[in-house]
Structure 1
C-alpha cells in the first residue's frame, strides 16, 4: 500500500475574502491588506489565492450535487429504516421524481454551484489587477475552466440558469437560455485551453489541465442534442482524440485503484479529481452512507457507518459476468470478514432479527449470519421504509467503489472524488461514433469499448450498438455522478424502475426547478417550465 500525499490548493489569507453565499451576492465589500503590489507574484501565491475555488468544489460535490445526479436514478436509493432517513421524504422525492422547488438538495446544490461561480468571479477580478507575468495567464485559465465546470454542472442540472455578471456588478442576473449557457461554456473552455498546462503531474493534480478542458468539451458536445437540439458528435470525437493522442492518460491496470483511498496523481487514468482528506479536506462520506453497521470490523473502521445508501436490484442485475473485476465494487449476499472465510455474525434474538415475529420465544438469543438482500422489501412503501430490525438493516446491495478508509477517525474519507477520467473519454468517443460522428483516425466503437472490457477481464464483444454501449457505461461508471446525464441522453429518464415504484414520466423533470429561496432573492429569475 502506498502512502497518499495530499496536495491541496492553500486557501491562505484570502479564504474569507473570496467566499460568497449565492449567485446574487455580487457586490460584497473586499477588505484585505493585500494589494497587487505585494501579492500574487509567485506560483505559490496564485495557488493560495485560488484555494477557495477548489475548497468550494469539495463542499457539496459528493453530497447534495451527487444526490441529484444519482439518487434520482436507478443506480442509488436511500431508504428509511423505521423512520430513520425518512427526513421529510427528501430522498424519496428524488427516487420517485416528485421533487419540488423546496427540496433541500435542489436548493443546496444550486447554492453550492453558484457560490462556486461567484468565487471564481471574485478571484479572477483579483488576478486581473495583478501585473502580467509568467504565471498569471495559466492561473487565470485554470480559474476560467473551473468556472466553466461549475456552469456546466448547473446548466446540466437546472437548464436555463443565469449567467452571473462579472465581479463588481450590482445587476441582478436573469435567466439565460440553455443555448446561451452552452455557447458561453464552449467559448470559455476554448479561450482557456492555450494557457492551461499540458503537463499531467503531482503539481497539476486537482487543477484543470488541457486534458480537463478537452474532456469537459467532449461532455458538452456529446450532450449537445439534449442541451441545444443540435448534434455535435464529430466535435466530441475531436476533443476525445486530443486526449487520446496526447498519451498523457491511460487505463489503470486495476479498476478499483482509480477510486482507492490512495488514489492521486500517480493514477494516470484520472483527468480531473476533487482532492479529499479525512482530516484536512472533508466532504467525501461514501462509506459512511453505504456500509452496514457491522461492516466496521470487516474494513477495520474507527467509526460506525450509517447504513443508508443502496442500489436498486435492476441496476445491480447489469453485472452479469462472474469474472468482471468491476463486481468488486459491490457488497451482496452473505458477508464475511476481510479474510473472506469468517462470517460476520450478529448476536440478536428472534424478535430482533424480525420485528414481525409473533412467536412466544421472541426473546430467544440467536446468531445471525449477515446476508445483504438484493430485492428491497418495503414494510411501509409510502415512506420507503424497510424496517430497522436485523433483516431490515440487511436490505440492499451496497457500493464500495470509493473503498472505506480505515485510517479515518471520522465519517469522512480520503479518497479523491473522480469527475473525469480516461475510461469515460473512450466510452464518450465510442458513443459519438455510434451516433454518427466522424473520426479521421478510423477508430471503431467496438475496439474502444473492448479496451474497457479487457481491463475488466471480461470477453470482448463481437459487435457494439448503443444498447450494448449503454450497459457498458452503466457497469463502468457506476456511482460516479453521471447516471442522470446518461439516462436523459439515452432516452431512459422517463422509464419505470425501482422495482416498479418510480413511474413518473414528466419530461419537464429532465431539469430541476430553480429553488424557491433563489426566486425570492432575485425577482428577475423565472421558474423552469412545469414547476
Structure 2
C-alpha cells in the first residue's frame, strides 16, 4: 500500500470511545462508514469524545515492542535472546526489521488521526457547541501530533512534516524536512495545545484525568526545550508546571503511596500522570496493554497464558542502583522479593530463587500487574488495563534541575536541588548537596527505567549540536562501557561480559525498508519546511 495512504482515517473512526472497543482494523485502513463530517459532531459530548481514540489503538504497535526495543535494549537497560528484537541490543537493526516498521506505522497513525481532527473538526461543529470545548479537542490533537513527532524525530531524524494526511494519498513520494524544522514544528504544536487545552488540577485517580491538559502541554514543551538546549525556556515551562500545583509526586505530595504504586492498574490517571496511553483491560487485541505479556516472568503471574519474559534487566542496569533505592522493587524482580498485589488469590507472588529472565538472574516488574482477578476482573492475553506513561511529573522535576544546571559543571542552587532531591527522597535515598549532569543522568535512568526513555537521554548527551550534526562522542564512550552480557549460574554468579561500541550512525535508525521502497525521497537530502 502506498506510503501514508494506510494512515488516512475519518473522524468517525477516530472518535470511537475507548470503552466501546473499536476494532483494530479500523485504525489501519480507509473507512467504509456512512458517517460524514457534517453529521457526526452535533453536541458537546461528541466533540469531547472526538479525541478518545488518540489515547488508545494508534499507539499499540509503538507500545507493544518498538518502544522498549528501541529505548531499553538499544539503551542498555535490558537484554534478550528473542530473534525479532535481539539486534536492538547489538546496534544491528536494519530497515527490514518488522518491529521498527511497526513503530513507524504506529506513530504516523497518531499523526494522521490528529491531523484529521485538526483539519476537519472546527468547520463541522455547530455553533451550539461552546468554542472552548472545540478548542480543547483541537489542543489535544495538536499535543498528540507533537508528541508522536517527538518520538519519530528522536528515532529517525529527518522526517516528512505532514499537516494534512489527505494531501499525500496520491502524492506519496515526499521529501523529509531537517531535524531542526521538526523540532520547531513540535514546539508550535505544543504551544497551541498549551493555549487551547483546558487547565486541570489533578486529585486522586479518575478517567477524566486520562485526557491531557494545558499543563500537560507545558510539561512536554519543557522536555522538548531541554533537548534543544534551550535551558531558559525549559526552566520557564518546568517552573510554570511546578507552580501550578496540577501534578503531585506519589509518596511525597500524595501520602500513603509509593513508587511501585504508580504502576498498579487501580492508580491509572493518578496525580503524577502527565500523559498516558489509556488501555482497556480484556478488550480485543490492539486496545489493551500488551507490555505485561512481554515482560512478566511467567504465565502464573498473568493468569492469561502469556508472560514470556522477552527481556530481562541488564547486568548494567542492576548494578546502577544505589543501595537502598526503593525503585528497584517497582522495576526489577529479584529473587525472594514478594509482591502481594500479584496472584492475590494465592497470597501474592514471591520471586523464585532461580529467577533468570534472559540470563539476567532477575526479571522485569514494571508494567507487570497480575491476573484479571488482581485487576478488578479485567484482563486477557496481550490486554491488561494499566496505562502506559508517556510522561510523569517526576520528569518535570528533573527537567527543572537540569535546566537550572544549564550545562555547567555542577550546581548547589536550591532551585535545582529541591526538585532533584524530592525525587531521590521518594526513592528512600539521601539528598545530595550539589549535583552534576552525571547525577541527573543517573537519576533519570533509575527513575524511568523500562519506561521507554533512557536511549533518548543518551541520544541527547552531546547536546543540541550533537543531535543536529549526529555526533555523539560522550554517549558512545558511556555505552561502550555498558555491561550487556549475562550472569552465570554460579553462586555467586559471575558476569560473562559482552560490550558493544556504537557509531554515530547508530543514533539514527534506518527508515523502514517498505517505506523507503515506496518513497525513495526519504533518503534524499532534507528540504526546509515552509511554515504557515
Aligned counterparts of 1:94 and 1:256: Cα–Cα separation in 2:
28
Give the aligned partner of residue 178 of structure 1. Answer: 179
Contact in 2 for aligned 1:11/1:51 (Cα 8 Å): no
Give the aligned partner of residue 353 of structure 1. Answer: none
* 2:249 matches 1:251: yes
Shift of 1:200: 4.0
Give the aligned partner of residue 123 of structure 2. Answer: 129
Give the aligned partner of residue 426 of structure 1. Answer: 397
With over 3 angstroms needed to count, the CA separation of the structure-2 counterparts of 1:414 and 1:29, relative to structure 1, is closer
Contact in 2 for aligned 1:289/1:309 (Cα 8 Å): yes
- From 406, 422, 429, the equivalent of 1:435 is 406
Give SS of 1:53's match: helix
Q: Deviations over 1:223-247 (max 9, x none)?
A: 11xxxxxx30111111111110100
Contact in 2 for aligned 1:217/1:236 (Cα 8 Å): yes
Give the aligned partner of residue 106 of structure 1. Answer: 100
Give the aligned partner of residue 296 of structure 2. Answer: 291
Which sections of structure 1, spanning at least 5 residues, go unmatched? 1-7, 22-27, 80-84, 225-230, 346-368, 378-394
Give the aligned partner of residue 380 of structure 1. Answer: none
Give the aligned partner of residue 280 of structure 2. Answer: 277
Give the aligned partner of residue 317 of structure 1. Answer: 319
Contact in 2 for aligned 1:488/1:510 (Cα 8 Å): yes
Q: Deviations over 1:8-45 (max 9, x none)?
A: 94587998998455xxxxxx687534342x33132321
Aligned counterparts of 2:24 and 2:308: Cα–Cα separation in 1:
32
Q: TM-score by structure 1 length? A: 0.77
Q: TM-score by structure 2 length? A: 0.77
Q: Map 1:298-309 onto structure 2 (within 5 A).
A: 299=301, 301-309=303-311
Q: Map 1:122-521 onto structure 2 (within 5 A).
A: 122-130=116-124, 131-132=126-127, 133-134=129-130, 135-170=133-168, 171-172=171-172, 173-200=174-201, 202=206, 204-224=208-228, 231-253=229-251, 254-265=258-269, 267-280=270-283, 282-293=287-298, 296=300, 299=301, 301-322=303-324, 324-334=326-336, 370-372=353-355, 395-407=360-372, 408-436=379-407, 443-490=414-461, 491-493=474-476, 495-496=479-480, 497=482, 498-499=484-485, 500-521=497-518
With over 3 angstroms needed to count, the CA separation of the structure-2 counterparts of 1:344 and 1:140, relative to structure 1, is closer
Aligned counterparts of 1:185 and 1:194: Cα–Cα separation in 2:
14
Bigger radius of gyration, 1 or 2?
A: 1
Contact in 2 for aligned 1:11/1:48 (Cα 8 Å): no
Contact in 2 for aligned 1:335/1:370 (Cα 8 Å): no
Contact in 1 for aligned 2:95/2:511 (Cα 8 Å): yes
Aligned counterparts of 1:62 and 1:10: Cα–Cα separation in 2:
16
Count of residues in correspondence between the two structures: 453
Shift of 1:460: 1.4
Shift of 1:50: 2.9
Give the aligned partner of residue 65 of structure 1. Answer: 66
